[in-house]
Amino acid sequence: MPNLNFVGKSKVVNYHRDVSFRFLEHQYGSSENMIIHGDNLLALRSLLATHRGKIKCIYIDPPYNTGNENWIYNDNVNDPEIKTWIGKVVGDEETDLNRHDKWLCMMYPRLRLLHELLSDDGVIFISIDDNEVANLKLICQEIFGSRNFLAQIIWERAYAPVNLKKHFSTSHDYILCYAKKISEAVCHGIPRTEKTDSMYGNPDNDPRGLWRSDNLSVGPAVERNIYEITGPTGKKFLPPSGRCWRVSREKYDELLADNRIWFGSDGNNVPSFKRFLSDVKQGVTPMTIWKYTEVGHSQDATKQLKEIFDGKSVFQYPKSVELIKRCLQLYSDPDSIILDAFAGSGTTAQSVIELNREDSGNRKFILIELMDYCESITAERVRRVGGDFSFYELGDPIFVDGELNPDLSKDLFRRYLYFSETKKEIPPMNPDEPTLLGINDGIAYHLIDGDLNFNSLAQIKTRSNSYVIYAESCTISQETRDQFKIYFKKIPRDIRRI
């Protein structure tokens, strides 16, 4: 498989592993839906601790790298090549190579994290246009695996040409779609509608209900399935040239006896196969061109958003709710967690909320948005469409350059130690036993200043089945520790990285 090489690639391929964990600091709200303000690289890294392998559906709409956007490369990658890019606004046509390299360096580690967050039966949808679709597909083949490619969907986003364009007026975007493991992904199809069901009728009052006639012939021809059929009026039929009947003579006789062959109301038509609505799957298999008549166009999306914000234009180029809803209909379940790491105006949240209302689902969303409008637009939209959420800011990094952050407060250190052991928030400190971080599953976790010895052990008051004690050193013998089920963890050596 061809791999894409780009300047800086060697530095970003595993860069996501070097990003420090930081707590998502809760600001307000009590919902399981999350809106996180901050750089998605950092937020996704933190979400790994709690959501690895748990996200069923990801939709992202990253900057398209048109050369006109103000996205800023701000990853602090310690590579001189990349450092020179930091903080610079994306260049114009003359610096084309740099522009693509920079975009790929931005996307690569984020896609790696998104891949880790997906559940085994999860699916990711990525909106993109001609500027980066070819590059994006190559790195996705690498990160998600070419065997997990599901589709390159075309979204017809415009309904009329822009006549000012010299050559073509582009009327579509793409949505790249990959499964985490194609063998586990289940496509629910597009929900059936009155329109799709209107193809079904029941002209012969079949007690099995609605059906539609389907072609009985298929191509190319298989010799043994070419035979003569005699209709109810005695008229004889052979399959058209180059084709054969779709079933063997024996199977045909069975279908005929079961009243599943149709020769038209007067019995003179070419035979067809009766396909019952009750036999087809609940959803319609999606095709890869999504027309604006089905999922809306860009102007629809802008109008929808304006209406929510009292006629004010607050965000350029949002996606349509119907478009994202279609993605979620295809691959999410009513209890799935949905993630959008480039949230913009929050269209994904509205799509989740609407879909839940339609099918009484309980899907949860996680949105991440870098810009300050995360509160005034992203979160505000969710409020205005009747959704609830909890709002988070990014906390301080726990590690800097691979070492414990020297500026870490004691409280944050205690909180991290407990979280790294239990994946739970630390309970409030008990002033009578300040070394105790908390008790989980019969294990008491303690942080002792300096040396763990018999004097410091005396500070432990609450009895437990066993004890994990963090300290800088330990002068209690292994035998005594074993006797009292004490597990000593040396700081900083034994601090777990999450």
Ligand X SMILES: C[S@@+](CC[C@H](N)C(=O)[O-])C[C@H]1O[C@@H](n2cnc3c(N)ncnc32)[C@H](O)[C@@H]1O
Query: Which of these segments, 137-145, 283-291, 315-323, 391-399, binds ligand X (CB under 6 A)?
Result: 315-323
CB of 75 to ligand X, least distance (A): 8
Contact 1, 146 (CB under 8 A): yes
For the record, the structure tokens of 446 come out as: 């303690």
The nearer residue to ligand X, 121 or 322, going by C-beta atoms, is 322
Residue with nearest beta carbon to ligand X: 344
The answer to whether the CB of 47 falls within 8 A of the CB of 70 is: no
Smallest gap from Cβ 346 to ligand X, in A, equals: 6
373: closest CA among 312, 300, 321? 312
For ligand X, which residue of 82, 270, 368, 468 counts as binding (CB under 6 A)?
368
How far apart CA 126 and CA 202 sit, in angstroms, is 42
- Binding pattern to ligand X, positions 51-90, x when CB under 6 A? ----------x-x-------x-------------------
Q: Which is nearer to ligand X, 132 or 369 (CB)?
A: 369
Question: What is the smallest separation between the CB atom of 364 and ligand X, expressed in angstroms?
Answer: 18
Return d(Cα 231, Cα 248) in angstroms, integer. Answer: 17
Q: Looking at beta carbons only, is 225 or 350 nearer to ligand X?
A: 350
- Candidates 4-12, 275-283, 311-319, 398-406 — which segment interacts with ligand X by CB under 6 A? 311-319
Give me the 325-354 binding string for ligand X, x by CB under 6 A, dash otherwise.
Answer: -----------------x-xx-x-------
Of 12, 34, 126, 370, which one interacts with ligand X (CB under 6 A)? 370
Cα three-residue angle 104-110-113, rounded to 5 degrees:
140
Closest CA to 347 of 321, 379, 367, 380: 321
The Cα–Cα gap between 476 and 493 comes to: 18
Name the minimum Å distance from CB 95 to ligand X: 19
Candidate ranges 197-205, 284-292, 367-375, 439-447; the one touching ligand X (CB under 6 A): 367-375
Contact 386, 56 (CB under 8 A): no
Minimal distance, residue 404 CB to ligand X, in Å: 26
Site string for ligand X, 18-57 (x = CB under 6 A): ---------------------xx-----------------
Helix, strand, or coil (residue 44): helix
Q: Which is nearer to ligand X, 197 or 393 (CB)?
A: 393
Residue given tokens 């350029």 in the structure block:
316
Rg of the chain over Cα atoms, rounded to whole angstroms, equals 30
Contact in structure between 469 and 446 (CB atoms under 8 Å): yes
Residue pointed to by tokens 């499964």 = 179
Residue 63 or 122 having the CB closest to ligand X: 63
**What does the longest C-alpha to C-alpha distance in the chain come to?**
104
How many whole angstroms separate alpha carbon 22 and alpha carbon 497?
A: 11
Rounded to a whole number of angstroms, the minimum distance from the CB of residue 92 to ligand X is 19
Using alpha carbons, list the distances in angstroms from residue 138 to 3, 4, 135, 386, 394.
7, 6, 5, 39, 31
CA dist., res. 23 & res. 34, Å (int): 14
In whole angstroms, give the CA distance from residue 219 to residue 470: 72
Rule CB under 6 A: is residue 321 a binding residue for ligand X? Answer: no
Beta bridge partners of 276: 211
Residue of the chain from 319, 326, 414, 446 that contacts ligand X (CB under 6 A): 319
Closer residue to ligand X (CB): 71 or 488: 71
Q: Which of 154, 158, 197 is nearest to 326 (CA)?
A: 154
Q: Does residue 213 interact with ligand X by CB under 6 A?
A: no
Q: Which is nearer to ligand X, 109 or 271 (by Cβ)?
A: 109
Residue (56 or 381) nearer to ligand X, CB: 381
296 touching ligand X, by CB under 6 A: no
Q: Is residue 371 involved in binding ligand X (CB under 6 A)?
A: yes
Compute the distance between CA of residue 101 and CA of residue 445 in angstroms, rounded to an integer: 46
Overall residue count recorded for the chain in this entry: 498
Cα 329 to Cα 60, 71, 135, 286, 486, distances in angstroms:
16, 30, 28, 11, 51
Q: How far is the CB of 195 from ligand X (least distance, A)?
A: 26
Residue closer to ligand X, measured from CB, 8 or 63: 63
Work out how close the CB of 169 gets to ligand X at its nearest, in angstroms, rounded to a whole number.
Answer: 20
Residue 334 CB, shortest distance to ligand X, in Å, is 23
**Among residues 347 and 456, whose Cβ is nearest to ligand X?**
347
Size of the site for ligand X (CB under 6 A): 16
Give me the least distance between CB of 13 and ligand X, in Å please.
Answer: 18
Residue from 369, 389, 414, 448 binding ligand X (CB under 6 A): 369
Distance CA(260)–CA(339), nearest Å, equals 45
Token representation of residue 476: 């209690």
Contacts with ligand X by CB under 6 A lie at 39-40, 61, 63, 71, 315, 318-319, 342, 344-345, 347, 368-371
